[in-house]
């Protein structure tokens, strides 16, 4: 509709707007094609990860790509530390037990975990229940979110590990 309307308008501004609209249309089509390709590849590489509520195909692709091989992490705690969701102790004197968010780690991986956490809080399920339980226990919303992201990192590591094992050791059919 915008293209039809712009065709009726004369002048330099309308010409520039038509060019911009053509670029937007072309780029949107390219994005759609790439999104489909990434989705297909995600379903092949990370089927277990896609079962996690709140984890879509693009987020799964981001997690797989940013993890750069789950086998390089010795434990889920190392994965959480690399993701920037592991708790950092910040106490001195009589304030033992306090932790804070870390600003280190892979920010892209952290952002993917954040998207899953926010989606799980919005959905009716275990993520929302856990988040509300932490809030009821007296945690701030940021602290409850950090705890949920840490919990999700544990689950994501398990799913990535399962997908890695499945890719490297496909099931052999038993000989009859």
* Same domain assignment for residues 155 and 74: yes
**DSSP E strands, 51-175:** 88-89, 99-100
**pLDDT tens digits for range 56-97:** 999 999 999 999 888 899 999 999 999 988 887 776 666 656
- 140: how many CB neighbours lie within 10 A of its CB? 10
* Same domain assignment for residues 56 and 27: no
Residue 117 lies inside a defined structural domain of this protein: yes
* Same domain assignment for residues 40 and 51: no
* Same domain assignment for residues 64 and 104: yes
Confidence band of 140 (pLDDT split at 50, 70, 90): confident
pLDDT at 8: 84
Q: Could you give the CA distance from residue 3 to residue 1 in angstroms, rounded to a whole number?
A: 5
Is 0.85 topped by the overall pTM? no
pLDDT at 150: 93
* Same domain assignment for residues 94 and 164: yes
C-alpha pair distances (Å), 136 with each of 5, 58, 82, 118, 129: 55, 33, 29, 18, 10
Overall number of domains in the chain: 2
Residue 86 lies inside a defined structural domain of this protein: yes
* Same domain assignment for residues 23 and 58: no
Write out the residue range of the structural domain in which residue 11 sits: 1-45
3-state secondary structure of 90: coil
Percent of the chain with pLDDT over 90: 56
Residue 176 lies inside a defined structural domain of this protein: no
């Amino acid at each position: 509709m915008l293209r039809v309307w712009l065709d009726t308008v004369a002048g330099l501004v309308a010409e520039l707007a038509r060019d911009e609209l053509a670029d937007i249309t072309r780029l949107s089509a390219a994005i759609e094609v790439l999104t489909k390709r990434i989705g297909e590849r995600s379903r092949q590489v990370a089927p277990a990860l896609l079962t996690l509520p709140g984890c879509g195909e693009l987020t799964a692709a981001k997690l797989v790509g940013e993890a750069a091989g789950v086998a390089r992490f010795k434990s889920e705690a190392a994965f959480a530390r690399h993701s920037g969701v592991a708790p950092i102790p910040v106490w001195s004197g009589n304030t033992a037990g306090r932790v804070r968010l870390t600003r280190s780690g892979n920010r892209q991986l952290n952002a993917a975990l954040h998207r899953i956490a926010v989606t799980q809080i919005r959905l009716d399920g275990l993520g929302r229940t856990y988040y509300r339980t932490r809030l009821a226990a007296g945690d701030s919303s940021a602290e409850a979110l950090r705890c949920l992201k840490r919990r999700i990192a544990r689950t994501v590591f398990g799913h990535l590990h399962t997908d890695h094992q499945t890719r490297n050791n496909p099931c052999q059919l038993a000989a009859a």
